[in-house]
Chains A and B, each alone.
Chain A
Amino acid sequence: MRKNIFLLIILGVVVMIMSMMSKEFLRFSTLLESLRYAVEMGIMAVPMTMIIITTGIDLSVASTLALSGILMGIIWKYLNLNIWLAGLFAILIGSGCGLLNAYMITGLSIPPIVVTLATMAAYRGIATGLSKGRGITGFPESFQNFGQGSFMNFIPYSVFIWVIVALVGYVVLEKSKFGRYIYSIGHNETGAMFSAVPVVRVKNILYLFSGMMAGLSGMIYSARIGAAKSNAFMGGELEVITAVVLGGTSITGGEGSILGSTLGVLIITFLKTGLNLARVPHSVQSIIVGIVLVASIITYTRFGVGFFKKIKKGGV
């Protein structure tokens, strides 16, 4: 909880500094519009948070996004399926990718980072091979409007989906038995197994959920850019992980929250928006984002544990 208060403070500071640096920043329209480009990251951050809490990781999310988008496009175009049904299919494809990851992780006991590193290349590669690098375009107006339009010309439609996913994720993680299972696996997997936590099933569901959300994001992404592309969201997996880690989820497991990850996404998004508006070169932006990330986490450690006490002991 203390972390989230701290994150709110960082967010406040970012907004303050950025609104001093450019007069266009602190407007509802600017901030809401910039959220449109954070929706996919925000949605995928929800399962990623849960997975990282269990000490896992999913590096294949961005590739799953691309593959579901491409298959959605192919089905819509060549089978003449209704676009919304095809969108549903994208979510299914994503879930399938997630399930395959889950099978290899729990069924064959291969570490998640190894499995998803390989499927990251494989899923993206299949998307590229199927599309031959050409985008699938010409989606119906209503579908494109879902990604490009805004409610009352103000709030992007896709942001609502992000809010729903984040709320559901919050309830599941903080208020349900399933959420407690996730934390207990993260604290001590063997211990959890002995106290009758269905570890394998929880993990399977998490990786499936991650793929499903990547599929959903693939649909939103395709609607937003009006095309299904195999190079969609290239390198996005590390962006999602950065947001989650900035949001206070510990990669050693057992710690983290959906609120924190969401704040992490917001901080990065607003920071980049502000720096763009202040005309700061992109290379310098990368440096600033990196420093903010490491500085925030250093500050956590000082807030969280008796920092100086442990230093004296000399352990890490």
Chain B
Amino acid sequence: MRRLTIIFLMILVGILIFSADTIKIFMIPKFTGAPYFVATEKGAKKAVEELKALGLPIDFLYTGSSVANTEEEIRIISNLLEQNPDALIVSANDEDALVPVLKKAKQKGIVVVTYDADVSDPTARDYFVNQASFDAIGAVLIDLVAKNVKPDANIAIVSADPNAANQNRWIEAMKRRMKEKYPKMKLLTIKYGYDRPAESFQAAQDIINAYPNVDAIIAPTSVAFPMVAEAVVKAGLKGKIYVTGLATPNDMRKYVKMGVVQDVVLWNPVDLGYLSVYVANAAVRGMISKVDGTEYVCGGKLGLYKVYDELEGKKSVVLLGPPFIFTIDNIDQFNF
């Protein structure tokens, strides 16, 4: 604890000494047309305000393709490089396709921070702000099913699309968890709804009809989750099929109140955006302190964060925290 206090003081001193130039930070989400990313924008802007009040001004821009489109994201990043930002905060639509353009940014001396969705090559970015570890998310989802249904439940998954890197890793983590802790649990099928409402809805309906023995459906993506819940209501199987997944509380509130969904898993996207800006700011201004070979970064009101050299095969990861479970008791406290 004393060590942490020392680091904190160091950072404060650092702020006082370096309080200086405006730095330019661009934040590029996967796409702007989703409440989840609006929430990360909110958090980021709050961090920018706070830092400004501390005498660390930031020229901040939040921009991106309005629909999920890898080509547009690459083009936007490449164009914005011409304005020589000091840091980029990027959520990657595609874990491979963005590597070259981010490498180019790093060559220009720009600090690159990925958040929400990382790229596959760690040399293409400096830090990855991970919302929660992949294993933790996979474990929480599977544990919820085991606890609320039974350890030998038959489950099905409705995911985003076959190329969605985050979803694929979460599904792998779920499979691992099943193998380790609940060997009798069975994964019946994985379907893709392509993050579109009608497709996700039909996929869920078809699963319910094609697998009469399905006990639980997991939807680790925010369009599919409410649609799966809707499909269960429509089939008149509320309470018979357990539904869980990843989505924001605002999107799921209705179904939680109806009692179709008991648990919604997510992290706080506002905090995720907030922390990402703090990390990018610290990296640019050299405010990441090293103690005993381990880096620490100040996350504002969220406290102090350790930078993991390696976590789940990814290098230089800042972990926001464990995934959070929203239930009927606490869902009204959140507005994102």
Is B63 located at the chain interface by the 8 A CB criterion? yes
| Contacts A230-B162, A276-B76; A133 near B168 (Cβ below 8 A) | yes
Is B163 located at the chain interface by the 8 A CB criterion? yes
Cβ contact within 8 Å between B82 and A27: yes
Query: Which residues in B have their C-beta under 8 angstroms from that of A137?
Result: 96, 120-121
Is A301 located at the chain interface by the 8 A CB criterion? no
Cβ contact within 8 Å between A235 and B66: no
Is B126 located at the chain interface by the 8 A CB criterion? no
Judged by DSSP, the binding face of B is loop
Cβ contact within 8 Å between A234 and B69: yes
Task: Kindly identify which residue among A22, A229, A236, A279 contacts B96, using a CB–CB cutoff of 8 Å.
Answer: A229
- Residue interface bits B84-100, CB-to-A below 8 A is 1, else 0: 00000000001111111
Task: Kindly identify which residue among A30, A128, A226, A232 contacts B100, using a CB–CB cutoff of 8 Å.
Answer: A226
Whole-angstrom distance between the Cβ of B292 and the nearest chain A Cβ: 35
Query: Which residues in B have their C-beta under 8 angstroms from that of A226?
Result: 96, 99-100
Cβ contact within 8 Å between B83 and A225: no
Is B51 located at the chain interface by the 8 A CB criterion? no
Query: Which residues in A have their C-beta under 8 angstroms from that of B163?
Result: 128, 133, 135, 229-231
B contacts with A, residue count (CB < 8 A): 34
Is B327 located at the chain interface by the 8 A CB criterion? no
How far is it, in angstroms, between the C-alpha of A133 and the C-alpha of B66 when the chains are bound? 23
* Among A83-91, A193-201, A280-288, the stretch in contact with B: A280-288
Is B75 located at the chain interface by the 8 A CB criterion? yes
User: Can you name the residue of chain A whose Cβ is closest to the Cβ of B67?
Assistant: A282
Whole-angstrom distance between the Cβ of A283 and the nearest chain B Cβ: 4
Residues of B98-112 contacting chain A, CB below 8 A: 98-100, 104
Cβ contact within 8 Å between B120 and A282: no
Is A3 located at the chain interface by the 8 A CB criterion? no
Cβ contact within 8 Å between B78 and A277: no
How far is it, in angstroms, between the C-alpha of A98 and the C-alpha of B110 when the chains are bound? 43
Whole-angstrom distance between the Cβ of B214 and the nearest chain A Cβ: 23
Query: Which residues in B have their C-beta under 8 angstroms from that of A37?
Result: 71, 74-75, 78
Is B70 located at the chain interface by the 8 A CB criterion? yes
Whole-angstrom distance between the Cβ of A266 and the nearest chain B Cβ: 14
How far is it, in angstroms, between the C-alpha of A207 and the C-alpha of B333 when the chains are bound? 59
User: Can you name the residue of chain B whose Cβ is closest to the Cβ of A34?
Assistant: B79
Query: Which residues in A have their C-beta under 8 angstroms from that of B74?
Result: 37, 225
Whole-angstrom distance between the Cβ of B313 and the nearest chain A Cβ: 15
How large, as a class, is the contact surface on chain A?
35 or more
Cβ contact within 8 Å between A133 and B100: no
Query: Which residues in B have their C-beta under 8 angstroms from that of A281?
Result: 32, 63, 66
User: Can you name the residue of chain A whose Cβ is closest to the Cβ of B99?
Assistant: A226
Cβ contact within 8 Å between A128 and B162: yes
Is B161 located at the chain interface by the 8 A CB criterion? yes
Whole-angstrom distance between the Cβ of A44 and the nearest chain B Cβ: 13
Query: Which residues in B have their C-beta under 8 angstroms from that of A209?
Result: none
Is B65 located at the chain interface by the 8 A CB criterion? yes
Whole-angstrom distance between the Cβ of B29 and the nearest chain A Cβ: 11
Is B146 located at the chain interface by the 8 A CB criterion? no
How far is it, in angstroms, between the C-alpha of A276 and the C-alpha of B26 when the chains are bound? 12
Task: Kindly identify which residue among A22, A27, A147, A282 contacts B65, using a CB–CB cutoff of 8 Å.
Answer: A282
Question: For A33, A272, A282, which residue has the most chain B Cβ atoms within 10 angstroms?
Answer: A282
How far is it, in angstroms, between the C-alpha of A235 and the C-alpha of B66 when the chains are bound? 14
Cβ contact within 8 Å between B97 and A229: yes
Which residues of B pack against A, CB within 8 Å? 32-33, 61, 63-66, 69-72, 74-76, 78-80, 82-83, 94-100, 104, 120-121, 161-164, 168
- Which 3 A-B residue pairs are closest in the complex by CB-CB distance? A133-B162, A227-B96, A135-B96
Which residues of A pack against B, CB within 8 Å? 22, 24, 27, 29-30, 33-34, 36-37, 128, 132-135, 137, 144, 147-148, 224-227, 229-236, 272-273, 276-277, 279, 281-283, 286
Could you jot down 23 A-B contacts, CB within 8 Å? A24-B82, A33-B78, A37-B71, A133-B161, A133-B168, A135-B95, A137-B121, A144-B100, A147-B100, A225-B96, A225-B97, A225-B99, A231-B94, A234-B70, A276-B75, A277-B80, A277-B82, A281-B63, A282-B64, A282-B72, A282-B76, A283-B33, A286-B66
